[in-house]
């Protein structure tokens, strides 16, 4: 069974979803197949909410949560690389492609970034264009900019 709660963050309403004791989704948008989930404040979802509150307050730089992002092996490799980007720093899509050992996969890295199911905790907001420009973000560029600004102030 999947459980979810809605968390009203400083940047947007977020939907937090767990399955079998692992965080599988943080979404800026209404949940797909929400009717197949139960709205329930589980111990894990309350901990996710607590850590997000600490993050937004500038007191948490590293999340410590059981994650289970669902995707292809390539996507999981990209998401793992995103987790290595230090708080307050950014990397380009090309740098992530090199990190996973496939420097020609820049567009595919962008595609994996775009479908990251666990926003903020898997920090896809820390990936920018090679010339330093902010590029697409599931929550919108304003939220991406807000998250990067928050992290730069506290790092």
**Token reading at 131:** 């010339």
Residue 64: exposure state from Cβ atoms within 10 A (0-12, 13-18, ≥19) = exposed
Burial class (CB in 10 A: 0-12, 13-18, 19+), 21: exposed
Q: What's the half-sphere exposure (Cβ side, CA atoms, 13 Å) at 41?
A: 4
Nearest to 112 by CA among 146, 64, 144, 69: 69
Phi/psi class of residue 97: alpha, beta or left (left: φ > 0; alpha: ψ in -120 to 50)?
Answer: alpha
Q: Report d(CA 23, CA 2) in Å as an integer.
A: 10
Q: Would you please indicate which residues are annotated as catalytic (active-site) residues?
A: 124
Q: Residue 41 has which token pair?
A: 């404040």
């Amino acid at each position: 069974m999947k459980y979810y709660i809605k968390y009203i963050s400083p940047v947007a309403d977020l939907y937090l979803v767990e399955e079998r004791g692992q965080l599988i989704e943080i979404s800026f948008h209404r949940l797909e197949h929400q009717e197949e989930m139960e709205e329930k404040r589980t111990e894990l979802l309350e901990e996710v909410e607590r850590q997000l509150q600490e993050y937004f307050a500038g007191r948490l730089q590293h999340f410590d949560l059981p994650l289970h992002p669902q995707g292809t092996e390539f996507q999981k490799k990209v998401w793992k690389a995103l987790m290595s980007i230090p708080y307050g720093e950014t990397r380009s899509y090309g740098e992530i492609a090199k990190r996973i050992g496939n420097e020609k996969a820049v567009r595919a890295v962008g595609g994996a970034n775009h479908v990251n199911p666990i926003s903020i905790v898997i920090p896809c907001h820390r990936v920018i264009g090679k010339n330093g420009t902010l590029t697409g973000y599931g929550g919108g560029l304003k939220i991406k900019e807000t998250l990067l600004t928050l992290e730069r102030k506290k790092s």
